[in-house]
Amino acid sequence: MKDLIALIVFGIVVAALPLFVSSGFVLNIVIMTLYAALLGQAWNILGGFGGQFSFGHAVFFGTGAYAAAVLQVKFGWNAWAALPAAVALGAAVGAFIGALSFRYGLRGSYFALVTLAFAEVFRILSNTFDFTGAGVGLMIPLTESAGNFQFTSRTGFLYVILGFTLAACLVAWWLKHSRYGAWLQAVRDNEESAAALGVNVFRVKLGATMISGALMSAGGVFYVQYFHYIDPHIAYGPGVSIEALLAPIVGGIGTLFGPLLGAAALHLFGELTRSFMGDAPGISLMVYGLLLVLMVTFLPRGIMGLLSGSPPVRKGGSRA
């Protein structure tokens, strides 16, 4: 219950932020932090709670982004009507990849490579077909109105991404306290033991993949509406997959607030990096890579592990 209260307080504080902050720059940082937290929580549900690490979560993000863009540009759908269709399609792709992988017992590094392969296949396909804009991509027509998911100020986008992120966090909270969540964590800890206790391992992992895919697709829809553009490299490139796994790794894998803390730390670190080093190509990736290595080496449980009093790891693997 304390986690739920803290989540409600967090939502109220962020929702009240536009009443005191009018700077578009600050609001943009908050929006992009919440967006990164949404992607991180989507990955965390499958990789953190389920133990199924993915290197290609962009396959779900790009599916949602392209579904929303194609339905609007090619078929004239309203953006809000395209949202549930895109989320459902992301869940369907998750079901397909999960069924194909788990039916043949793929897990660990094999499952991670399968998701990476699917992201690359989808990137090639979207780079080929005309209805996706091929290599040029798709531009969303600008029609500013709340009813068209295009707000005249960043405040509207802030409330939307806050709602998406809180929904993802509520799913994570439910996983911590529900029977299904207990099954999922049992599968993460030991699949054979969970199966021996009567847990349907295949269905549990498949459900987590579908939930994760749906939330990741919602992030893709938001990206399209916020930036009005999508192309194959953005949708299915490695950048999205890296951003999705970085937040929970830095914040704490398998925790409720880990992706939120990780996203905030990464964006703060990113702004400091740009302030001191400028926007030189590749600098941010180098810094993120260094941060990831340091976190995995010295704080494997992330910021949440540090806050909870988990001892750091010394060189050689023993705990301090």
Q: Which of 202, 210, 215 is nearest to 167 (CA)?
A: 215
* pLDDT level of residue 255 (50, 70, 90 thresholds): very high
Range 223-240 average pLDDT: 94
Number of domains forming the structure of the chain: 1
- Per DSSP, 133 falls in state T
The number of angstroms, rounded, from the C-alpha of 224 to the middle of its chain's C-alpha atoms is 15
Residue 315 lies in a domain: no
pLDDT tops 50 at residue 296: yes
* pLDDT level of residue 310 (50, 70, 90 thresholds): low
| CA dihedral over 223, 167, 244, 16, signed as positive or negative | positive
Rounded to whole angstroms, the Cα distance separating 7 from 145 reads 29
- At residue 304, the pLDDT reads 86
Rounded to whole angstroms, the Cα distance separating 166 from 282 reads 32
pLDDT tops 90 at residue 22: no
Residue 319 lies in a domain: no
- CATH number, domain containing residue 288: 1.10.3470
pLDDT tops 70 at residue 298: yes
- At residue 267, the pLDDT reads 82
Residues in CB range of 147: below 8 A, 6 or more apart: 78, 80
Angstrom distances, CA of residue 92 to CA of 198, 206, 213:
26, 11, 8
* pLDDT level of residue 317 (50, 70, 90 thresholds): very low
Range 199-219 average pLDDT: 96
Range 277-301 average pLDDT: 73
- At residue 38, the pLDDT reads 97
Asked which of 77-81, 116-120, 207-211, 282-286 is least confident by mean pLDDT, the reply is: 282-286
pLDDT tops 50 at residue 50: yes
Residue 313 lies in a domain: no
- At residue 91, the pLDDT reads 97
Residue 125 lies in a domain: yes
Residue 318 lies in a domain: no
- At residue 284, the pLDDT reads 66
- At residue 311, the pLDDT reads 53
- At residue 309, the pLDDT reads 66
Tokens matching residue 33: 């932090």
Q: Which of 159, 180, 160 is nearest to 79 (CA)?
A: 160
* pLDDT level of residue 285 (50, 70, 90 thresholds): low
- At residue 175, the pLDDT reads 94
Tokens matching residue 90: 């992301």
Residue 246 lies in a domain: yes
154-237-146 Cα angle (round to 5):
20
Question: If residue 229 lies in a helix (H) or strand (E), which one and from where to where?
Answer: strand 229-230
- At residue 279, the pLDDT reads 63
Residue 317 lies in a domain: no
- At residue 156, the pLDDT reads 95
- At residue 281, the pLDDT reads 61
- At residue 287, the pLDDT reads 72
By percentage, how much of the chain surpasses pLDDT 70? 93
Question: Do residues 288 and 277 make contact, with C-beta atoms less than 8 angstroms apart?
Answer: no
By percentage, how much of the chain surpasses pLDDT 90? 72
pTM: predicted TM-score of the whole model, two decimal places: 0.92
What's the domain range around 230? Answer: 2-307
Question: Do residues 311 and 319 make contact, with C-beta atoms less than 8 angstroms apart?
Answer: yes
pLDDT tops 80 at residue 217: yes
pLDDT, one tens digit per residue, over 139-198 is 998 888 899 999 989 999 999 999 999 999 999 999 999 999 999 999 999 999 999 999
Residue 91 lies in a domain: yes
